[in-house]
Amino acid sequence: MKAEAVRRSSQLRATEDKIAQDGAPRESNAVVTRDRRNSRWDEHRRARREQLVDAALAAVSRHGSGVGMEEIAAAAGTSKTVVYRHFADRSDLHVAVCNRVAQQLLPRLREALESSDHPRQMTAASIDTYLAFLEADPEVYRFVVTPVPGNDPVDPVATLADLVGDQAATIMAVALERAGRDPAAAGAWGHGVVGLVRSAADWWLRARQPMLRSELAAHLTDLAWAGLSGVVTEESQTPRIEEAQ
C-alpha cells in the first residue's frame, strides 16, 4: 500500500512538472559568463510577469471572466503598454494565467489522491477537491476555459484535463493490478471519469449552482463508483464481451 502511495505521488509530481513555467536552465559556460546585468533583468522580468498574473487573477475575481486589459492593468497599478512589454498579447497572458491555475490545482488533487488507499474514497476526495477549487472562484475558472477571441478556439484546460486523466488512469491501473485484473481499460476509465466530472461541473456553474457542492460531489461519486466498483474491487466480476452484447 505504501509503495503504491509513493508511486501515485511521484506520478502526480511529474504531471505538475509538465505544466511548470520558466524551468531553471542548466548551467553552462555561456550562462556563467553572461553579463550580470542581463541576468538581473531576466529575474526582474520573471518577477514582473508573476506580479501581472497575480493582478490578472485579482481583476478576473473582481470584474468577471470578461475582464478587459484595462482592468487588468489597473489592478497591477500600471498601463496596458507596460503589460504588453511582458506579454505578447492577451492570449499570452491568458496562457500564463492558465498555467498558474494548473499549478494551484494539481497539488491539491495530488493530496486528495494520497488521502486514502481505498479507490472509492480517493474518487470522492478528488471530485470534491476539483469542485471546491471551482466554487472558490467561479469567474477564474470561466476565464480559464473561455478561448481568447481572435485566436484558435483551443480549450486551454484540455491539456490539464488530459494530465489529470493520465493520473486517474495510473491509479486505476494500480487498483486493477491489485485486484488481479487486466489494467488495459484503465486509460479509458480514467479519462472518462475526468470528463464526467468536468462536464457536470461546467453545467453546475452555468446553472448557477442549483445544489450544494457536497451534494453534487456525492452524486458524481455515486455515479462514477457505480461503474468503477464493478471492476476495481476483488469481489467484482469482470464483464465478458459475450455478456455485454
What residue has cell string 475582464?
A: 67
Residue 163 lies in a domain: yes
> And the C-alpha cell for 84?
504588453
Q: Is residue 6 part of a domain?
A: yes
Res 37: pLDDT: 64
Q: Does 24 map to a domain?
A: no
Are 56 and 139 within 8 A, CB to CB?
no
Rounded Cα gap, residues 139 and 129, in angstroms: 17
Q: In the numeric block, which cell numbers belong to residue 115?
A: 488521502
Phi-psi region of 209 (alpha: psi -120 to 50; beta: other; left: phi over 0): left
Residue 55 lies in a domain: no
Q: If you ran DSSP here, which 8-state letter would residue 236 be given?
A: -
What is the residue range of 119's domain? 2-18+102-235
Taking only the tens of pLDDT, the chain with its 245 residues reads 445 545 555 555 555 555 554 444 444 444 445 566 667 778 888 999 999 999 999 999 999 999 999 999 999 999 999 999 999 999 899 989 988 998 898 889 889 888 887 878 888 999 999 999 999 999 999 998 887 766 655 555 666 778 788 878 887 788 778 778 888 888 998 899 889 999 999 999 999 999 999 999 999 999 988 877 766 654 443 333 333 33
Residue 72 included in any domain? no
pLDDT of residue 69: 95
* Helix spans in 64-146 (H): 69-75, 80-86, 90-113, 119-136, 138-145
Residue 36 lies in a domain: no
Rg, C-alpha atoms of the chain: 21
Q: What is the pLDDT of residue 241?
A: 30
Q: What pLDDT was estimated at residue 243?
A: 36
- What is the helix, strand, coil percentage profile of the chain, to 5? 75, 0, 25
pLDDT of residue 233: 58
Other residues' Cβ atoms within 10 Å of the Cβ of residue 117? 15
In a domain, 92, yes or no: no
Q: Distance between the two ends of the chain, CA-based, in angstroms?
A: 36
CA distances from 5 to 8, 40, 116, 175, 177 (A): 5, 41, 9, 11, 14
Classify residue 175 as exposed, middle or buried by CB count within 10 Å of its CB (0-12, 13-18, 19+). buried
Q: What's residue 136's pLDDT?
A: 94
Whether 57 is in a domain gets the answer no
Q: What is the CATH number of the domain that holds 7?
A: 1.10.357
CA distance 91 to 199: 24
Number of domains in the chain: 1
Provide the grid cell at 41. Answer: 533583468
Encode 62-85: b = buried (16+ Cβ within 10 Å), e = exposed.
Answer: ebeeebebebbbbbbebeeeebee
Q: Which pLDDT score is estimated for 96?
A: 92
Distance between alpha carbon 65 and the CA centroid of its chain, in Å?
18
Q: Note the pLDDT of residue 8.
A: 54
